[in-house]
């Protein structure tokens, strides 16, 4: 990183409580705080930290995920030990504190985002959202429209209210909405007395020694959630095996065992989200039901079964991964359901990143889970794309991420959903799929959109002039060409008995951002019960930045008023260099 602040930067390092201008540097080049709205609503409030300083850790964690520099020997109490860095470690940061322990208010968020735009940022990462608010009253929609006009990418979190449908916030057409998934990483192992090693999952914070202890398994108290456990296990210097795989039962078991004096415990669960929003409070480990079979067999057949639990171990390459997180909010968007949201998924579960000084922990890094954690991954990739392609619009950068995302996990099967019994995840959960930063750098084709295109959408929604002005804050747009068919890198169609007879038509225009001429052929995976046709089915480009249009027609074959169907449309370049994928969702209109 050069020790020179970009000449375009207009920001400042605003002083306040426990924060002075000298705390900014060549990484943190700006820091401001906004609380006039909060003070107006709570004039007698005592502000906990009246400055840009973070008091709850959320901003520190997310910003270090976006652009934290290299840190050797990072870990959380020995877990995930190694070199930590953000997605764009050479990027610079400016912080805008708009949320307070005393509350957060729309006016402060708008002021903060507007200031960031004026200061000259390239990307805005915002892990905040509003629910049940129309676009013309949504502060983030209004501020992000101004950002989009200036080519600034806005990356936002989908929310943590999954897995039910229609729980998503930030379903705004001109920004990026990010869902959360798991990683291929886990912690801890179980070693049986016969030498068998089983990789499990634990985040017990103390380096407890649980070695070569008797392994106790008794079917009469294997539920591990009653006083039978205490009364029948006289020797507490043992490891007990609890074999219920219900997620709610496992949480109950954990809570109960933590109140006993039993030295170690083994729990059984196939749910990858067990630790996403909570910790583990006893020296224990979780294994899956398949591995549990061999442990139970060993406990039953061995004369003197023993086991050891190893903590502070880290394993990567775990399969399957990623998996859509149960908590991640799902589409369709309440802002406007005609745009498929979320757009993309990124790692959000058990993310290790920097944290504020905390008297209860000796670690400068902690694990946190949520779409607040997945959002900054996409923000960092947006920063890298912006640096590589400074001429690209915010829509082009979003398109590059979406069309190159993977809908397959590391077993080469469709990404699964922990909120729905590990079935294949719908685009309502994962959007186009898991972000792939390297492929996004060279997407082949992009779907672009101008500010006027978004206004055409608002006009098509029959917004009034005043409602549109509240979003655009400018009168130089017009409603000459209202359209609900935005040039977006995904497709969503809603059918009723009436529309099932006529079908739905879409127009899309792609721009060739590859090297010179190219020819693309379409491949469609049909949503169940529907037929998708594309015309033309071959796109021939003669030169770079050439645009070509095509039409998609979706017709219902078997109407089902309950089921969501999904497929995809992929443009494959001759020679196989690029494939440009768009998810397709077809749903009943009353979903």
Catalytic residue set: 58, 372
Q: How far apart are CA 553 and CA 506, in angstroms?
A: 6
Going by C-beta distance under 8 Å and a sequence separation of 6 or more, which residues neighbour residue 20?
none
Closest CA to 159 of 292, 348, 401: 348
Number of neighbours of residue 498 by Cβ within 10 angstroms: 9
Dihedral angle over CA of 462, 144, 371, 1, nearest 10: 160
Enter the tokens of residue 220: 């009469």
Q: Is residue 561 within 8 Å of residue 588, measured between CB atoms?
A: yes
Enter the tokens of residue 436: 């792939």
Q: How far apart are CA 79 and CA 201, in angstroms?
A: 11
The CA–CA distances, whole Å, from 536 to 134, 483, 490, 533 equal: 37, 22, 18, 9
Q: Is residue 264 within 8 Å of residue 240, measured between CB atoms?
A: yes
Q: Is residue 183 within 8 Å of residue 347, measured between CB atoms?
A: yes
8-state DSSP, 137: G
The SS3 of residue 308 is: strand
Enter the tokens of residue 382: 């947006």
| Pairing outcome for strands 365-368 and 351-354 | antiparallel
β partners of residue 180:
346
Going by C-beta distance under 8 Å and a sequence separation of 6 or more, which residues neighbour residue 236?
260, 261, 262, 263
Q: How far apart are CA 115 and CA 96, in angstroms?
A: 9
Tally the residues of the chain.
591
Q: Is residue 507 within 8 Å of residue 553, measured between CB atoms?
A: no
Q: Is residue 145 within 8 Å of residue 152, measured between CB atoms?
A: no
H helices present in 330-477, as ranges? 371-388, 394-404, 427-430, 437-440, 451-460, 465-472
The SS3 of residue 169 is: coil
Closest CA to 148 of 179, 172, 183, 181: 172
8-state DSSP, 171: -
Q: What is the Cβ-side half-sphere exposure of residue 314, based on CA atoms within 13 angstroms?
A: 15
* Straight-line distance from the first to the last Cα atom of the chain, in angstroms, rounded to the nearest whole number: 50
Sheet holding 445-446, edge to edge: 445-446, 504-512, 547-556, 530-535
């Amino acid at each position: 990183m050069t020790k020179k602040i970009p000449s375009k930067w207009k920001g400042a390092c605003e002083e306040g409580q426990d924060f002075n201008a000298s705390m900014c540097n060549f990484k943190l080049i700006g820091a401001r705080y906004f609380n006039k709205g909060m003070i107006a609503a709570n004039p007698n409030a005592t502000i906990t930290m009246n400055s840009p300083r973070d008091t709850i850790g959320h901003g520190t964690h997310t910003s270090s995920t976006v652009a934290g520099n290299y840190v050797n020997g990072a870990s959380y109490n020995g877990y995930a030990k190694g070199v930590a860095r953000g997605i764009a470690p050479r990027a610079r940061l400016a912080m805008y504190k708009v949320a307070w322990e005393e509350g957060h208010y729309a006016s402060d968020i708008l002021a903060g985002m507007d200031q960031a735009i004026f200061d000259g940022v390239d990307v805005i990462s915002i892990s905040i959202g509003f629910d049940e608010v129309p676009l013309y009253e949504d502060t983030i929609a209004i501020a992000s429209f101004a950002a989009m006009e200036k080519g600034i990418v806005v990356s936002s979190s989908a929310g943590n209210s999954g897995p039910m449908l229609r729980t998503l916030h930030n379903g705004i057409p001109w920004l990026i909405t990010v869902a959360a998934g798991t990683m291929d990483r886990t912690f801890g192992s179980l070693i049986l007395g016969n030498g068998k090693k089983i990789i499990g999952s634990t985040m017990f914070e103390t380096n407890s020694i649980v070695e070569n202890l008797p392994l106790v398994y008794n079917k009469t108290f294997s539920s591990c959630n009653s006083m039978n456990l205490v009364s029948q296990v006289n020797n507490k210097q043992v490891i007990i095996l609890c074999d219920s795989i219900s997620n709610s039962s496992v949480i109950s078991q954990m809570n109960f065992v933590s109140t006993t004096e039993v030295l170690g415990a083994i729990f059984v669960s196939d749910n990858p989200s067990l630790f996403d929003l909570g910790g583990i409070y006893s020296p224990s480990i979780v294994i899956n039901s398949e591995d549990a079979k061999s442990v139970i067999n060993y406990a039953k057949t061995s004369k003197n079964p023993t086991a050891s639990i190893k903590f502070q171990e880290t394993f990567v390459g775990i399969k399957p991964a990623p998996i859509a997180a149960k908590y991640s909010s799902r589409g369709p968007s309440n802002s406007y359901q005609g745009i498929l949201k979320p757009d993309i998924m990124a790692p959000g579960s058990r993310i290790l990143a920097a944290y504020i000084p905390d008297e209860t922990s000796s670690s400068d890094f902690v694990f946190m889970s949520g779409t607040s954690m997945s959002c900054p991954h996409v923000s960092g990739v947006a920063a890298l794309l912006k640096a590589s392609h400074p001429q690209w619009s915010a829509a082009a950068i979003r398109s590059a991420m979406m069309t190159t995302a993977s809908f397959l996990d590391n077993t080469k099967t469709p990404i699964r959903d922990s909120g729905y019994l590990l079935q294949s995840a719908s685009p309502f959960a994962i959007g186009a799929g898991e972000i792939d930063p390297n492929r996004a750098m060279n997407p082949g084709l992009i779907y672009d959109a101008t500010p006027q295109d978004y206004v055409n959408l608002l006009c098509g929604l029959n917004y009034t002039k005043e409602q549109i002005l509240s979003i655009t804050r400018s009168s130089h747009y017009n409603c000459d060409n209202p359209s609900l068919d935005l040039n977006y890198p995904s497709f969503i169609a809603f059918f009723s008995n009436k529309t099932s007879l006529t079908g739905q038509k879409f127009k899309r225009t792609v721009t060739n951002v590859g090297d010179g001429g190219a020819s693309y052929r379409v491949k469609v995976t049909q949503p169940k019960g529907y037929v998708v046709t594309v015309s033309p089915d071959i796109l021939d480009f003669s030169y770079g930045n050439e645009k070509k249009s095509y039409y998609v027609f979706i017709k219902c074959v078997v109407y089902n008023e309950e089921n969501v169907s999904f497929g995809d449309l992929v443009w494959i370049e001759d020679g196989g260099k690029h494939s440009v994928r768009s998810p397709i969702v077809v749903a009943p209109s009353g979903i």
